[in-house]
Structure formats: structure tokens, C-alpha cells
Structure 1
């Protein structure tokens, strides 16, 4: 997994503002027969693998670690606030 520098800067600010321990990457159910991946801020759980990616603390659900290998998290500041995008997810046939 990669986190762009712009996403890192936005995540650092969010982690500080929300007093969260890390970015959490979690299993968000199935869509079109494939696992979906979600992102939130929070505390790591027992079933998470802990990583530091571009200096961002990241907790990844062990069930989906293999799906995050080629992911890139991009971020940008918008009028509504920071927006993030996961790139590199497998395409789904729906």
C-alpha cells in the first residue's frame, strides 16, 4: 500500500483533530461477490496488522491485508473538506 504525500498531510491533520490513533482499513462486506474495503479513523483492533506507511499509522484488518498490496490512497482538500480515494482495487464485474 502507498499513501501519497498530499494524503499523508491531510491524514496527519485529521488524526490530530479527531485524536485518533490510526487510519483503519477494514472489511466492509461483499459487493458483486468481491470483498469491499472501507477506511475510517480510530483505534486498532486485535485482528488488525499495524503498519506505518509514509509516516501514517495504519491498522489493516488481517482478513484483507492481501487486497491492500497494490492500493494507493490519494487525498485532496475540497470545499467540503478532505476527500480520499482508494486506487488499485480490483475491478468488479457487476
Structure 2
């Protein structure tokens, strides 16, 4: 599991988590369409069937049934460009 983000994303996520006791960041599939699924994140609580990973002090959870979509993920923050400020996407690596 590889989740990448910069220092700004780390700071914004930590501030967001302060608003909910025992909060975690849930990475989720928000829609399926042609090509790749749409990915997103929400502030949530951990469930018993979640996969848990801590990245740079940020607790992330992913439903086991969709964690395959988050193997190589980047989170970008830009409140002027993205609804809610966050953009979650898969990083594609070359097999060559």
C-alpha cells in the first residue's frame, strides 16, 4: 500500500481530524464508470472490516473489498480547484 501526499495535505488532514474524536480518514470509491473508479476521502470512524494504515501520522482506513484500488495513491489538496479541496487518484506506474 502506497499513499503519497505532501506536507500541506498532512497539515490539512490533521486539522480535519481534530473535529472528530477517534476520527480516521476513509479512502473510498465514490463512483465507477469507464476506465478507472472515482476516488475520494471522508472523515469517518474505523469499522471492524476495514484495512488500516498509518501514513506520516495520518490514520487511513479502506474497506477491504475496495482496497485494491488504493495500492498506489496520491492525495492532492487545492481548495480552489477541487470540491472539498481534495483530489484522490491512482498513480500509474510503467511496467517497462
TM-score, normalising length: structure 1: 0.74
2:56 to 50, 54, 57: 54
Give per-residue Cα distances to partners, 1:1-23, cap 9 Å, x unaligned. Answer: 21221111000001102445100
Q: Which runs of 4+ in 1 moved over 6 A?
A: none
Q: TM-score, normalised by structure 2?
A: 0.72
- Corresponding residue number in structure 2 for 1:43: 45
Q: Which residue of 2 aligns with 1:7?
A: 9
Runs (5+) with no aligned partner, structure 2: none
Structure 1 unmatched ranges of 5 or more = none
Q: Count residues in correspondence.
A: 88
Q: Contact 1:4–1:72 at 8 Å: present in 2 too?
A: no
3-state SS of paired residue (2:72): coil
The Cα offsets for residues 7-57 of structure 1, whole Å up to 9 and x where unpaired, read as 110000011024451000123342226543331101011221010012100
- The structure whose residues are more often strand, as a share, is 1
User: How far apart, CA to CA, are the structure 2 residues paired with 1:70 and 1:29?
Assistant: 18
C-alpha change, 1:87 and 1:26, in structure 2 (3 Å) is closer
